[in-house]
Amino acid sequence: MDEVARKLIKTINANGELPAKDFLRIVPRQTNDYRDYFIAANLMHAGYFDFDVGNDKHTNPLGETSQETAIMFAQIMLPKGESFEINGCPRDSWHDFPVNVFSTARGFLKLEEIIDAEQREKKEHKSKRKDYFMAIFTGILAAVLSSVLFNYYALERSSINTPKKAIQQGQIFQCAKPAH
């Protein structure tokens, strides 16, 4: 799920109910038209949140389609007195239109899914980090052990070919003195 969609769902669930303007301020403005609000419109049509207008009852989202809902969200966010045209139809600002959005049961369930997924990601990250350090530790331990065992084996092998007394006196590694 998109990061903006996650943030919208988290915000509406954290607040329970919000004025539509406050809720839609979260949506990043990239095209500066109704297309910016498709994420919110699609979430509404998916049933993650709903709206109310005062005491009016409604039977569907703000629009029949996601595009119509996105257009209506754009109208809500237009500054007072501004308008735009789409498909030859003028659209005025709904700046003072009292729309509130609120979370639905489906929205709360989606929030739980999001939280579970984030916790799973954190656990996986910790596990990967732990595995990384264990691999480094194992590599270092293997290098140290092989070095120690190699040196031990080399000393044992050299002690078979030289007398013990020479090893104890440290004469193994000294150069032989030339005879006069």
Helix or strand run (H / E) with residue 139: helix 105-161
The torsion angles phi and psi of 92, rounded to 5 degrees, stand at -90, 165
The token pair that represents 100 in the structure block: 């509130």
Helical spans, DSSP H, in 16-101: 20-24, 38-46, 66-77
CA–CA distance, 121 with 160 (Å, rounded to integer): 58
Q: Distance from CA of residue 7 to its chain's centroid?
A: 11
| Domain residue extents for the chain | 3-103, 124-167
Give the pLDDT confidence score for residue 6 in this predicted structure: 85
At 67-107, the pLDDT tens digits run: 888 888 888 888 887 878 888 888 887 777 788 888 888 88
With cut-offs at 50, 70 and 90, classify the pLDDT of residue 167. low
Query: Among 1-5, 26-30, 67-71, 121-125, which stretch is predicted with the lowest mean pLDDT?
Result: 1-5
The predicted structure's pLDDT at residue 138: 93
CA–CA distances in Å: residue 78 to residues 44, 66, 82, 102, 152: 20, 18, 6, 21, 81
Whole-model pTM: value is 0.60
User: 154 or 102, which is more confident?
Assistant: 102
